[in-house]
């Protein structure tokens, strides 16, 4: 009985809240609002199918903003062409405030585990392929990027640009031995 009364009050409040809503006419020159057509379904007479009918939108010429010219295009090329510095990247990862201390420890452990998998692969102790090792590498890098993207986008960008270079070091037994 109490539940019925509460439901009745709720429906009454809902209905009275909708009664006083008035629509103002659209401002002059504005595109007409979208309309929604409701058609009854043939299979179930109690349900309605909603079909969106889009109104034609006026074509308004939009000016493209002028591209900002870079003050030093040679500096940008140097950044892109610069060799991979793993120690600087590792230092930046250790110093970033975007990742918490315990998360950094967990990531370090996961990276050490990945390096151990590569060592085992190159020593012939595991029956896995290089392609199978790529997946944990990609997942670990994706996890780091997810943690960095909002609070340290510059470091996230550096990680993305060095992704393939890091993989080429891991995938080459001679380069991997120098780590």
- Report which listed range, 9-13, 24-28, 161-165, is most confident: 161-165
pLDDT, tens digit (0-9, with 9 covering 90-100), for 59-74 = 555 555 555 444 444 4
Cα dist from 39 to 42, 51, 118, 176, whole Å? 9, 8, 61, 65
Ramachandran bin of 29, using left for φ above 0, alpha for ψ from -120 to 50, beta for the remaining angles: left
Among 155, 166, 142, 144, CA closest to 84: 166
DSSP 29: T
pLDDT at 40: 55
Query: What pTM was estimated for this model as a whole?
Result: 0.54
Mean pLDDT score of the chain, rounded to an integer? 74
The answer on pLDDT for 20 being more than 70 is no
**Structural contact between residues 104 and 93, judged by C-beta atoms closer than 8 angstroms:** yes
Burial class (CB in 10 A: 0-12, 13-18, 19+), 57: exposed
- Tokens 């890098």 sit at which residue? 141
pLDDT cut 90: percent of the chain above it: 49
d(CA 101, CA 89): 17
């Amino acid at each position: 009985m109490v539940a019925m009364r509460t439901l009745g009050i709720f429906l009454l409040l809902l209905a009275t809240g909708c009664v006083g809503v008035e629509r103002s006419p659209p401002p002059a020159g504005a595109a007409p609002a979208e309309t929604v057509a409701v058609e009854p379904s043939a299979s179930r007479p109690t349900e309605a199918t909603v079909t969106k009918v889009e109104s034609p939108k006026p074509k308004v010429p939009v000016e493209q903003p002028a591209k900002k010219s870079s003050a030093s295009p040679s500096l940008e090329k140097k950044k892109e062409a610069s060799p991979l510095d793993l120690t600087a990247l590792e230092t930046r990862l250790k110093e970033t405030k975007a990742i918490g201390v315990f998360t950094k420890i967990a990531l370090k452990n996961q990276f050490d585990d990945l390096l151990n998998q590569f060592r085992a692969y190159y020593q012939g102790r595991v029956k896995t392929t290089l392609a199978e090792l790529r997946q944990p590498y990609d997942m670990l890098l994706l996890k780091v990027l997810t943690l960095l993207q909002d609070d340290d986008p510059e470091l996230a960008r550096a990680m993305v640009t060095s992704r393939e270079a890091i993989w080429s070091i891991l995938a080459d037994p001679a380069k991997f031995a120098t780590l």
